[in-house]
Structure 1
Amino acid sequence: MNLPDMVAIRARTIYPLTEESPARGWDALAAPLRAVDNGVVLLRYGMVEAVERWPMDIPSGTEIRDLGDVAVIPGLINAHCHIQLSWTAGRTRWGQGFTPWLRSLIALLREQDAQEERDAAIDAACAALADCGTRHAADYAGQDLTSVDAAAARYGVGVTHLCEWFGAKPPFIDQRRPWPPRCRRAATSIPGLDRRCAPAGHALYSTDEDVLRDAHAFCKAMDRPFVLHLAESEEEMRLLELGDGPLRELYGGTVLPQSWQAPHMRPVEYARALGLLGAGTLAVHCVHVDAAEAALLAHGDTAVCLCPRSNANLAVGAAPVEMLAHAGVLLCLGTDGLSSNSDLDVRKEAVALRRRWGLPAEALIRMLTVNGVAALGLDDRLGRLYPGSMAGIAVLPEELLP
């Protein structure tokens, strides 16, 4: 939302989440939220100055925007998004499992659109993020990093760029590891951009072990989030446990070197063995985890980003949300990208979870805001509305009203 220097935003109800901490465990997630009925958020120069009931004293010349009979929350955190792949929207194969979808995506990547078309798709995606109330997004970046950064800035959306290393390490000592060379060049091309970037792994089966360890160590040392896709599909489970299956057939000899050997472990166990779990790690998807693995994630303070609509579209299953919540895992939400989802409105992920699991609206609101802030290690002035916090609001769909 583009704002003038001073603006007062009225709504039927405001949930400011002013003093909310990251919510772990069912009781914390489902606890009542403080509401400001007939409320006003007063913004000055892009920062929150006050959250009060109407009527209130406001400076003369302030623009008043009355949103009417709606409830609003702080700006959304989309904790997992592939903005750079927005040009693939509507062109991949859904509903037939993970590997058929992946094959269709790889085919597009081999003959990808021209830069102009990719930039236009990125711009439209960032505009859509802003329109639904997204304040910050975590984007997996393999290319087009500067295009994403510029487009997000145009629409007032903050971005954490996760620079994923895909495939085996090179057969030589690369001092730039764990940064993919293309991302590293882009990140250093604009002053300050590298501070918004973090090296990331794609997944346990598609990123070399040493690169994963190096990326994790860098992120830990620099206080940046370490992110990877984890336990997303049955094909991943089979590859890591048995060493065969569709992913081995697809990646053998390319992403997976001929010498690659399966660890004969489930994904969460393997990630622990590599030292990748713990505070500061955000595991995306976690569709195929059991109770013991949920407890392991919670005990080590590994956060989990849920992408339920993407999982449904690719027919990979549904994450055990209630199990993860009861175990005490820090849960947040992401849309994945337009190659596996119909839009980038993270509120619809919350609606999908409420429809399937009947989760309390309070839990979902926390996943959309303060939990996403914590999972990505963002400034605590995001995800909350209080004097001095960063501006940004989102309207709640009716299905998410407490």
Structure 2
Amino acid sequence: MASSVLAIRARTIVPLSGESPALGAGLFAALKKIDNAVLLVRDGLVEDVLPWKNARLPAGARVRDVGPVCLIPACVNAHTHLQLSWLAGRTLWGKGFAAWLASMIPQLSTASVGEVVSAVESACESLAAAGALHVGDVGGSLRGALTLVDRHCRAAGVGVSHFCEWFGFGPPFIDNEGPWPPRCRDELAADPALAVRCAPAGHALYSTAPEVLRAAREYCARNNAVFSFHLAESPEETQLLTDGNGPLYDCYAGTVLPEDWRPPGMRPLAYAAGLGLLGPGALAVHGVQLDAREVEALAAGGTALCLCPRSNRNLDVGAPPVRALMENDVLLCLGTDGLTSNTDLDVRQEAVCLREHLDVPPEALIRLLTVNGAAALGLSDAGRLTPGGPAAFCILPEILTY
């Protein structure tokens, strides 16, 4: 029996079919939009996107009118910390990065299995409800939670790229299987199918041993995987790496930082470049503390950057130099970070934040939410409503319509 067609009618649809990842001036180019449009769906796949007046619906087609809204492809949330969702509302905001970190660290060993499971399930469901097609998630914080996040993301219909994060300066366990963090290694060995969706990652330049960062980056390059790490997130990070002191040093000295640790005496971007962490295939996160020359260097090397502006604002670490990043052709995308530093996991609200506070044009923000996020995570079939592709879409917030 032939399957029936579902016709989804909306005031406007922006399909992004044929769009490539956008840099520089390409971010601001007009997007093709179809007014009084219909999305034809068969068996969960896009059959066509066209004006309603041109639609020739087959017999038995079902029509769903979603009203005066603009539909875009489902979004890519390129950076989250789903394993830590149970800490929502339990950390200190507005007092700087080190104060937030100090409020969180003592709680990391206090979670019960039940509250972690419940929080992860709820977080994954909220991602789907917010129109996310795919998420880049940082794993390795809690033993066993990688499998948990993967199961609940897939149950919610959200694809996931896992970044298995190394944290600390202990002796790395690196062999031919790759530089996988100890908290992830057993899960990956038990489930080869899970390993396909995973890549080793670094936490940050001040919290992960340099030899581990290099090994993880090299492994990802050999295996065509994305390497992700936090970069230039806070003034405290810059102070620690350049001078070897400050509140972040006070937070980590004697615990994370070994006794013989010495600062590299370099700003974060220069240190990352010296370790060979940058370039195509690398996804840096935050970039709040980048200066003008560093923005140019980041762009020249081809590193992608994920912006998490609401998290940055909540922690009072500054605002990323968005205009400079756009004008210098950095591949930009958006992420929500996690519920330890954000109120929700709706990546569309990151775009709203940039629209409201930095007056970034909607055309650029739509691309950051879709095709750019897909490119940053190495996804070839996401971020577009293309005939034959998944019919995954979301509603664009009114402030982002144009």
TM-score, length of structure 2 as denominator length: 0.96
In the alignment, is residue 151 of structure 1 matched against residue 152 of structure 2? yes
Name the CA distance, whole Å, in 2 between partners of 1:311 and 1:354.
15
Of 42, 49, 52, the residue aligned with 2:50 is: 52
Instruction: Structure 1: state its 5+ residue gaps.
Output: none
How much does 1:307 deviate?
0.4
Matched, 1:384 2:371: no
Which region of structure 1 is more displaced relative to structure 2, 170-179 or 205-214? 170-179
Please tell me whether the aligned partners of residues 350 and 364 of structure 1 are also in contact (alpha carbons under 8 angstroms): yes
The answer to whether 1:240 aligns with 2:241 is yes
User: Cα distance, 1:6 vs. partner?
Assistant: 4.5
Q: Could you say what secondary structure the match of 2:90 adopts?
A: coil
Provide the rounded CA distance (Å) in 2 between the counterparts of 1:301 and 1:137: 21
Distance 1:229 1:5 in 2: 46
**For 1:156 and 1:254, how far apart are their aligned partners in 2?**
39
Counterpart in 1 of 2:68?
69
Deviation of 1:259 (Å): 0.8
Answer yes or no: is the 8 Å Cα contact 1:178–1:212 preserved in 2: no
Q: How many angstroms apart in 1 are the aligned matches of 2:382 and 2:308?
A: 21
The aligned runs of 1:92-241 (5 Å cut-off) are 92-112=91-111, 114-142=112-140, 143=142, 144-170=145-171, 178-241=179-242
The Cα shift of 1:188 comes to 3.2
CA deviation vs aligned residue, 1:218-262 (integer Å, no higher than 9, x gap): 111111110000000111000000011111111122211111111
Q: SS of the counterpart of 1:289?
A: coil
User: Are the equivalent residues in 1 in contact too, given 2:178–2:219 (CA < 8 A)?
Assistant: no
Opposite residue 170 of structure 2, the aligned amino acid is K
Once residues 109 and 102 of structure 1 are traced to their aligned partners in structure 2, the CA distance between those partners, rounded to angstroms, is 11
8 Å contact from structure 2 (residues 173, 182) kept in 1: no
> For the structure 1 residues 233 and 208, does the alpha-carbon distance in structure 2 shift closer, same or farther, using more than 3 Å as the test?
same
Specify the code of the residue in structure 1 equivalent to 2:104: L
What is the CA–CA distance in structure 2 between the aligned matches of 1:83 and 1:110, rounded to whole Å? 16
Q: Partners in 2 of 1:99 and 1:322 — Cα distance?
A: 27
AA aligned to 1:334 is G
Match of 1:332 in 2: 333
CA contact (8 A) 1:177 1:211 kept: no
Which amino acid in the other structure matches residue 341 of structure 2? Answer: S
Q: Counterpart of 1:261 in 2: which secondary structure?
A: coil
- Count of residue pairs the alignment pairs up: 396
Shift of 1:171: 7.0
CA distance in structure 2 between the partners assigned to 1:174 and 1:93 by the alignment? 39
Describe the superposition over 1:281-326 as per-residue Cα deviations: whole angstroms up to 9, x where unpaired.
1110000011110011111110110000000000000001001111
Look up the match of 1:8.
Answer: 7
> Which residue is equivalent to 2:299?
298
- Cα offset, 1:191, TM superposition: 4.1
Q: Note the alpha carbon deviations across 1:263-291, whole angstroms, 9 max, x for none.
A: 00000010000000000111100000111
Name the amino acid aligned to 1:47. L
**C-alpha separation between the residues in 1 aligned to 2:266 and 2:326?**
24
Deviating more after overlay: 41-50 vs 146-155: 41-50
Paired with 1:78 and 1:171, the residues of 2 have a C-alpha distance of 30
Q: TM-score, normalised by structure 1?
A: 0.96
- Following the alignment from structure 2 to structure 1, what is the Cα–Cα distance between the partners of residues 174 and 276? 22
Q: Distance in 1 between matches of 2:151 and 2:68?
A: 34
Q: Distance in 2 between matches of 1:238 and 1:62?
A: 62
Paired-residue identity, %: 56
One-letter identity of the residue aligned with 1:89: A
Q: Is the 8 A contact 1:13 1:36 kept in 2?
A: yes
Match of residue 251 from structure 1: 252
Secondary structure of 1:238 counterpart: helix
Task: Give the letter aligned to residue 393 of structure 1.
Answer: F
Number of the residue aligned with 1:317: 318
CA apart distance, 1:59: 3.6
Residues 163 and 228 in structure 2, CA contact (< 8 A), matched pair in contact too: yes
What residue is the counterpart of 2:79 in the other structure?
A: 80
Alignment CA distance shift 1:186-1:171 (3 Å)? closer
Q: Deviations over 1:132-159 (max 9, x none)?
A: 1100000000131111111111111000
Report if the CA contact (8 A) 2:37-2:52 is conserved: yes
Where 2:107 maps in the other structure, the secondary structure is helix
What's 1:367 paired with? Answer: 368
Per the alignment, residue 17 of structure 1 pairs with 16
For the 8 Å contact 1:5–1:46, the answer to whether it is kept is no
Mark the runs of 5 or more structure 2 residues left unpaired by the alignment.
Answer: none
> Aligned partner of 1:127: which letter?
E
Aligned equivalents of 1:169 and 1:58: distance in 2? Answer: 63
Take 1:12 and 1:221, find their aligned partners in 2: how far apart are those partners? Answer: 46
Structure 2 counterpart of 1:400, one-letter code: L
Q: Deviations over 1:56-77 (max 9, x none)?
A: 1234334322111000100000
CA distance in 2, matches of 1:191, 1:202: 24
- The 1-side partners of 2:174 and 2:395 are apart by 50
Return the letter of the residue paired with 1:283. A
Native 8 Å contact 2:174 2:180 kept in 1: no
1:173 and 1:400, CA in 2 relative to 1: closer, same or farther beyond 3 A? closer
Separation (CA, whole Å) in 2 of partners of 1:5 and 1:301: 45
- How far apart in 2 are the matches of 1:188 and 1:13? 47
Counterpart secondary structure, 2:116: helix
Q: 1:61 to 1:291 in 2, by over 3 A?
A: same
Supply the distance in 2 between the matched residues of 1:248 and 1:263 (Cα, whole angstroms).
13
